Amino acid sequence: MSTKNLGAIPVYQKALELHEISKAIASYVSFNKDVLKRYHSNSLRDNIADSLVNDTVLIPKQIAQAEHSKSYAERLKSASFINIMIRNINSYCLGLEKDGVKEMEYLNLLRSEIKSFRKSFTKWRRTIRKD
């Protein structure tokens, strides 16, 4: 399957949407607006925002890896990794909330997007079979 075909997979599209929303929210809530230097920040909020973006960029990569793999074990490993990233992203929302982010509508939007992604992910994960 080529990268072009990945666009036809709903979970892949949802992962890309999740990443875009995460980037926008991270940029908004971060004190350090320089994306490349955010991970060097001493601010907890900046570190959470950086982790949020980094984890959401990994999800579509793992989906692509699973879609291209002929190994059942590798596909399951990718699905497991994505589950961990989803849990992390939910934790980052809570962390940003506890750090005093006032714009709860943005965090709730991200949580809603995570919920939508999870539904699509669950359907996709069921398609992983032994060949």
Higher-pLDDT residue of 38 and 47 is 47
Q: What is the DSSP string of 44-62?
A: HHHHHHHHHHHHHHHHHHH
Q: What secondary structure letter does DSSP report for 35? A: G
18 within 8 A of 113, measured Cβ to Cβ: yes
Kindly state the average pLDDT of the residues 86-107: 94
User: What letter represents residue 64's amino acid?
Assistant: A
What stretches of 1-131 show up as alpha helix (H) in DSSP?
A: 3-6, 10-29, 44-68, 72-98, 104-126
Q: What is the pLDDT of residue 32?
A: 62
Q: How far is CA 11 from CA 35, 46, 79, 94, 119, in A?
A: 26, 28, 12, 24, 9
Please, what's the b/e burial string for 45-74 (b: 16 or more CB within 10 A of its CB; e: otherwise)?
bbbbbbbbbebbbbbbebbbebbeeeeeee
Rg of the chain, C-alpha, whole Å: 15
- pLDDT tens digits, one per residue of 4-44: 488 789 999 999 999 999 999 998 888 766 555 555 667 88
* Domains contained in the chain, CATH given: 3-126 (1.20.1440)
- pTM to 2 decimal places: 0.87
Give dist(CA 40, CA 49) in Å, integer: 12
